[in-house]
Amino acid sequence: MIRPTCRNVRTALPKTCPVHAPRRGLTSRTIITDNKNLVPIRTNLRGSSLLNTPRLNKGAGFTREERAVFGLEGFLPYDVHSLEKQALRAYNQLLKQPTVILKHAFLASLRDQNQVLFYRLLQDHLKELLGVLYTPGAAEAVENYSNLFRRPIGCFISYPNHEGMRAQLEAHLQDVNRTADVAYHSKDSKDAIDLVVVTDAEAILGIGDQGVGGITISTSKAALYTLGAGINPNRILPVVLDVGTDNHALFADPLYMGWKRTRLRGKNYDNFVDKFIANCRDIFPNAIIHFEDFGMTNAYRFMEKYKDKIPMFNDDIQGTGAVTLAGLLAALKVSNQKLGDQRIVIYGAGSAGMGIANQIRDGLEILDGKTRQEANKHFWCVDRNGLLVESMGNNLRHSQQGYARPDAEIANWELENPEQHAAYLMDVIKNVKPTVLIGTSTSRRAFNEDIVREMAKYVERPIIFPMSNPTALCEVDPEDALAWTDGKALVATGSPFAPVPLPNGGTYTVAQTNNALVYPALSLGAILARSKTISPSMLMAAVHSLAQLSPALKDPGASLLPDLSEVRNVSVVVAAAVCRQAVADNNATDQTTIDIVNGNHDVSLEEYIKSQMWDPVYRPLELVD
C-alpha cells in the first residue's frame, strides 16, 4: 500500500531508493538496480490538474489511496483498473479505427492523455504498430498536420521569431522542471534534457518538404527512442525548425500553420541552424543532437561541421548505414567471408545509399585496417545517370565524389546500350561480378530476374539487400531473390516481409534492417557516458555488437538481424558496447559510467544500463506542497 509522504512510503520501498537518500547528493546517475519503478514521483498537482497532465495521469489506474490523497474521487468511475486492463481496452479501441491515419491520430490522442498507457500499448504491440507510429502512419500525419491539429507537442522554432529562440528553448526546460522526476533528474536544471530530435522538414521520409508538419517526425522518432532503449520521454525534446517551405500545396492550404514563404536558404539559413545548435549546447549542455530528415546536401554539411565538436547523430545517413553494415557483417559470418574481400554495388546514390557506403567504408578502415583510398575501391555506386565516374565532375555531389570510378575502368566494358555512353546496373553486374548488391533507389523491382541470376553466376552466397521503403518500392521481393538463386541468397530488406518457404522444405526469415535496432541504443550509451562526441569507433562498436546478436549465427535459416520485438534487450547489449568504446576513446565524462566500465563498481554495466531505462509502468505519486 503506497502512501503519499516520504515517511509513510519508507516501509514499502527498498533502502536503495533515492527517496531515502539526501536530496543534495541525488543525481540522475544514482544507481537503482532493483525496484526502480517503486520510486515515487513528487508532485503538487491534484484533481483535474493531475488528470490533465499526461506525464502523471493514470486514468482508471489511480489506486484507492491515490484517489483519496490527490482529490480524485468524483473525477473517475469507481472501479480501479490495472495498466494491463487499460492497455487491452486501448488496443481494442485502436483496432476499430478503419485507416492508418486514424490509428495514428488515436495514438496521438492517447499520448496527450496518458503517457504511460501510450508507451505500454506500443511496447506490447511494437512490430504491429510501428507502421502506425512511424511510416507510413507518420507520413500521412505529416501531410495532414495542419488539418488534423489538436494539441501542440514539441518545440516550434520559426525563423521570424528567431530572436526569441533562446527564451523558447528555456521555456521548454522550465516545463520539464515543473514536473521534475527525482529518479531521473539531477539538481542541475541543465541536466534535464538528454536528447534533442530536430528536423527542418525538407526531406520527410519519401514525401519531401512538409514545412511545420515535420514536428510529427520528431515526436515519432522521440517515441522510438523511448520504446527502443528506454530513454525517458520527459527528457527528450522534439523540435521543428520552421524555415518556410517550397511545397506549394501548403501555400494553397488556408489551414496551413507554418511560416508561409519559400524555404530559407544560404547564409541566413546556416546562421539560423548554427544559432540553434549554440543555444542547445548552452541550455542543454549534455544533450545528444539528433538531425532528422534534413535535405541531403544540408544533412551532410551539418554532419561534417559538427560531428567532431558535439555529440550528434544523423539517422538518415549514419543510422541506415549502421544497421545495414550490421546485417552485412552477419551475412559474411554466415557465408564465411571477409569484409575486405567484397565487391559492393549500391543502386541508388542518394543520402541513404551514400550513408550506407560511408558506414561500410568505415568498417573497412576500422575493422580491416584499410586506407580511405583502398576502402573506396570496394564500391560501385549507380544512380539514374548510371555508374558514378570521375568525368561526371561537378554533377557529382560532395558525398558521391570519393566513390566515382575512373573512366578508364569502363572504357573496355561491353555495354548493353553503348549509345548512352554510361554503364547501368546490368553492365555493372556483368563486369564487376559483385558479391553484395544493395538497393536504395526506390525503384520498384529494379533487381529483376536477369539481374539476380547474373549476379548468382559468380557468387556462391549472393548478399542482396533491397532497402527501399515502403514494400511497394522494394527493389526485389525476397521470395523472388531466393527462388532465382536456388535459396542461396542472404537477404535483408528495409520493409518487413513474411518468412519465405525454401525448396528443401524449410523457411528463410527475412531480416528487416530497421534503424531502431541501432540508433536508440547508440544514443543511450552516449547519454550514459556523457560522451563529448559520437565517434566513428563508438558507432562501429554498436554495429559490431548488433551483428554478434544475429540469430543466423546459430540457425542459417534465421534472420540476419534480431527481431524488432527484442529491441529493448538488444539495446542493453549495444548501449554497453557504446559505453565501453566511449571510455576507451577517452570520450566519456560521466564518472559513474567510467568507474563501472573500469570495474571499479560492484554493479555490472548491463545492470546499470537497465537501471537507467524508463519503463512504461505506473509509479507511485508523492504529494508535496
234-252 pLDDT per residue, tens: 999 999 999 999 999 998 9
Q: Show binding-site residues.
A: 292-293, 316, 469, 514
SS3 category, 6: helix
Cβ neighbours of residue 167 closer than 8 Å, sequence gap 6 or more: none
pLDDT number for residue 176: 76
Of 103, 221, 370, 610, the catalytic one is 221
> Is position 15 annotated as part of the catalytic site?
no
pLDDT number for residue 472: 84
Cβ neighbours of residue 559 closer than 8 Å, sequence gap 6 or more: 509, 510, 511, 512, 550, 551, 552
Of 36, 103, 119, 134, the catalytic one is 134
Q: CA angle 235-239-245, nearest 5°?
A: 170
Which residue ranges make up each domain of the chain? 6-81+616-623, 151-310, 318-514, 517-612
pLDDT number for residue 205: 77
For residue 422, give the amino acid letter: A
SS3 category, 434: coil
Separation CA 597–CA 221 (nearest Å):
29
pLDDT number for residue 189: 57
Q: Show binding-site residues for (S)-malate.
A: 469, 514
What would the pLDDT profile of 537-558 be if each residue is shown by its tens digit?
Answer: 999 999 999 999 999 999 988 9
Cβ neighbours of residue 390 closer than 8 Å, sequence gap 6 or more: 404, 405, 406, 407
SS3 category, 490: strand
Contact between 2 and 68 under an 8 Å Cβ cutoff? The reply is: no
Concatenated DSSP letters for 501-552? E-TTS-EEPPEE--GGGTHHHHHHHHHHHT-SS--HHHHHHHHHHHHHT-GG
Q: Write b or e for each residue in 273-294: b if 16 or more Cβ atoms lie within 10 A of its Cβ, otherwise e.
A: beebbebbbebbebbbbbbbbb
Q: Are domains 151-310 and 318-514 of this chain identical in fold?
A: yes
> Is position 221 annotated as part of the catalytic site?
yes
pLDDT category at 560 given cuts 50, 70, 90 is very high
pLDDT category at 272 given cuts 50, 70, 90 is very high
Percent above pLDDT 70 for the chain: 92
- Provide the β-strand partners of residue 127: none
Report which of 607, 455, 623 is spatially closest to residue 3, judged by C-alpha positions: 623
Q: According to the CATH classification, is domain 151-310 in 3.40.50.10380?
A: yes
Contacts within 8 Å (CB) and 24+ apart, 398-407: 398/297, 398/300, 399/296, 399/300, 399/351, 399/354, 399/358, 400/349, 400/354, 402/372, 402/376, 403/349, 403/354, 403/357, 403/376, 403/379, 405/380
pLDDT category at 346 given cuts 50, 70, 90 is very high
pLDDT category at 442 given cuts 50, 70, 90 is confident
CATH H-level, domain 318-514: superfamily: NAD(P)-binding Rossmann-like Domain (3.40.50.720)
For residue 409, give the amino acid letter: E
What would the pLDDT profile of 175-212 be if each residue is shown by its tens digit?
Answer: 877 655 533 444 455 678 999 999 999 998 778 899 99
pLDDT category at 17 given cuts 50, 70, 90 is very low
Contact between 611 and 36 under an 8 Å Cβ cutoff? The reply is: yes
Q: Indicate the range of 27-41, 70-84, 325-339 predicted with least confidence.
A: 27-41
What would the pLDDT profile of 444-474 be if each residue is shown by its tens digit?
Answer: 899 999 999 999 999 999 999 999 987 888 9
Separation CA 233–CA 218 (nearest Å):
12
Percent above pLDDT 90 for the chain: 79
Q: Write b or e for each residue in 522-550: b if 16 or more Cβ atoms lie within 10 A of its Cβ, otherwise e.
A: bbbbbbbbbbbbbbbbbbbbbbbbbbebb
Q: Is the pLDDT of residue 517 over 60?
A: yes
